[in-house]
C-alpha cells in the first residue's frame, strides 16, 4: 500500500509540473499575440504649405499683421497654393524651406531669424526660391548684410500716417499692371537711408510727395521694387500699414501681381 501511494504521489507531482509549465507557455504566447495596449495607426505626414508667412516681430508690432496674413493666404489660394503663418524662427531650416514656392516676411521688425535661419533663407533664395517683404519688413534684420543687399537700402523712418498718392512706374510688371497710373492711398510713407534705385533694383511704384507732408526723397521716391537673386527672386512693397489695406481691391491686386511675378521663376 505504501508503494502504491508513493507511485500515485509521483504521478501527481509530474502532472502538476506539466500543468504549471503549460500555463506559463500559454501566458507567454498570449502576451506576444495580444498587445498590452491598443496601438494608434500611423498618421500620414502632412506636407509643408507652399507659402510660408513669417509674422514674428522683435520691435514694433503692426496691428495689421493678422489681416495681412489672412489676405496673403487667400491670394495664395487663388494661385492654387496653400499657406501657413508662423511666429517660429525654427521653421527656417534647409528642410523647412525645401519645396516652398514662396516665403513672406510680413511686417517683421528687428532680428527675427537665428544665424542658422539666415543661412537657410539665403541658400533657399539663391537656389531658386522667392521672397516677398511687406511694409515693416524693411526694418527687419538690421545687422544682416545679405538682407541689406536684397533691399538695396535700409529703413530710415516715416512721417505720420496720412493720405497721399501712389504713382505706377512700371505698368508692364504684374504687380503694377492692375493699378491706375495714380492711386490715392493712405499709409506710412517710408523713407530710406539711401536711394534703392542706385543699387540696381527695378522700381515698380513711387510716392507723389506733392500729395502728402514729410517726404524727403523728392520726385523719385520708390515704394515698391524687385530684383533677381541668382536663381531666385525678391520683391519689396512699402505699403500695408493698416488692416483696411488688406481688404482694398487695388492693394490686393498689387500683392497678387507680386505673387505672379515671384512664382514665375
Q: For the chain, which domains are there?
A: 51-263 (3.40.50.880)
Model confidence at 34: pLDDT above 50: no
* Averaged pLDDT for residues 216-240: 98
DSSP for residue 201? -
* Averaged pLDDT for residues 111-118: 99
Judge contact between 240 and 68, C-beta under 8 A.
yes
CB hemisphere CA count around 180 (13 angstroms): 8
If you count them, how many residues does the chain have? 265
Mean residue pLDDT across the chain: 89
Judge contact between 68 and 57, C-beta under 8 A.
no
* Pairing status of strand 222-229 against strand 202-207: antiparallel
Model confidence at 215: pLDDT above 60: yes
| Those residues with Cβ within 8 angstroms of residue 82's Cβ, 6 or more apart along the chain or in another chain | 49, 50, 51, 76
pTM score, whole prediction: 0.84
In the numeric block, which cell numbers belong to residue 145?
Answer: 548684410
d(CA 219, CA 101): 35
CA distances from 1 to 4, 5, 11, 239, 262 (A): 5, 6, 16, 111, 104
Amino acid at each position: 500500500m505504501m508503494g502504491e501511494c508513493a507511485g500515485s504521489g509521483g504521478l501527481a507531482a509530474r502532472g502538476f509540473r506539466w500543468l504549471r509549465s503549460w500555463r506559463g507557455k500559454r501566458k507567454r504566447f498570449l502576451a506576444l499575440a495580444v498587445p498590452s495596449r491598443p496601438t494608434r495607426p500611423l498618421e500620414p505626414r502632412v506636407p509643408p504649405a507652399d507659402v510660408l508667412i513669417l509674422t514674428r516681430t522683435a520691435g514694433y508690432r503692426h496691428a495689421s499683421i493678422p489681416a495681412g496674413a489672412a489676405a496673403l493666404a487667400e491670394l495664395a489660394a487663388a494661385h492654387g497654393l496653400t499657406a501657413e503663418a508662423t511666429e517660429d524662427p525654427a521653421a527656417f531650416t534647409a528642410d523647412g524651406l525645401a519645396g516652398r514656392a514662396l516665403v513672406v516676411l510680413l511686417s517683421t521688425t528687428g532680428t527675427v531669424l537665428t544665424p542658422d535661419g539666415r543661412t537657410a533663407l539665403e541658400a533657399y533664395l539663391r537656389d531658386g526660391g522667392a521672397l516677398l517683404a511687406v511694409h515693416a519688413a524693411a526694418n527687419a534684420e538690421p545687422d544682416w548684410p545679405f538682407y541689406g543687399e536684397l533691399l538695396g537700402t535700409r529703413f530710415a523712418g516715416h512721417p505720420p500716417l496720412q493720405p497721399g498718392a501712389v504713382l505706377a512706374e512700371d505698368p508692364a510688371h504684374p504687380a503694377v499692371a492692375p493699378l491706375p497710373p495714380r492711386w490715392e492711398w493712405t499709409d506710412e510713407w517710408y523713407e530710406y537711408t539711401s536711394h534703392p534705385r542706385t543699387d540696381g533694383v527695378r522700381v515698380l511704384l513711387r510716392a507723389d510727395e506733392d500729395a502728402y507732408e514729410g517726404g524727403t526723397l523728392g520726385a523719385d521716391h520708390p515704394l515698391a521694387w524687385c530684383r533677381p537673386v541668382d536663381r531666385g527672386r525678391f520683391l519689396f512693397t512699402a505699403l500695408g500699414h493698416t488692416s483696411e489695406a488688406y481688404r482694398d481691391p487695388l492693394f490686393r491686386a498689387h500683392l497678387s501681381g507680386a505673387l505672379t511675378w515671384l512664382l514665375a521663376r
